[in-house]
Amino acid sequence: MEVRYTKHFLNKLEDLFSETDYHLRYEKGSFNSGYCILQNKKVAVVNKYYTTEGKINCLLDIIRSIQVDVKALGEKNQKLYLNLSQTEIEL
């Protein structure tokens, strides 16, 4: 799947993330990878000063590293998640 680094695609990823068990927050911080996942509280924190491209890359990494209940997702988000998880991302 080809990733387009646009605000629209970022909004799609945020919408997908909102249907998972994790809460997404944009905060300032000095994260080595640009984000931090608090597994026990199911919170993902992304550096709010990142560019749109940086935020998209962080969300893609996070979505690949967490357990997502596909059945709990809406139809559009199921398709997006399956596309993201089954194909190599072309940068």
Percent of the chain at pLDDT exceeding 90 = 58
Does residue 59 belong to any structural domain of this protein? yes
Give the model confidence (pLDDT) of 3-25 as tens digits: 889 999 999 999 999 999 999 99
- Structural domain containing residue 22: 7-86
| Per-residue pLDDT reduced to its tens digit, 65-77 | 888 999 999 999 9
pTM of the full structure: 0.85
Residue 34 counted as domain residue: yes
Total tally of structural domains belonging to the chain: 1
The verdict on residue 51 lying in a domain is: yes
DSSP H or E segment with residue 46: strand 43-47
Please report the DSSP string for 25-39 in residue order: EEE----SSSEEEET
Residue 28 amino acid letter: K
Is 91 a member of any domain? no
In a domain, 71, yes or no: yes
In Å, what is the CA distance from 5 to each residue of 23, 47, 50, 56? 22, 17, 13, 7
The answer as to whether 64 is a domain residue is yes
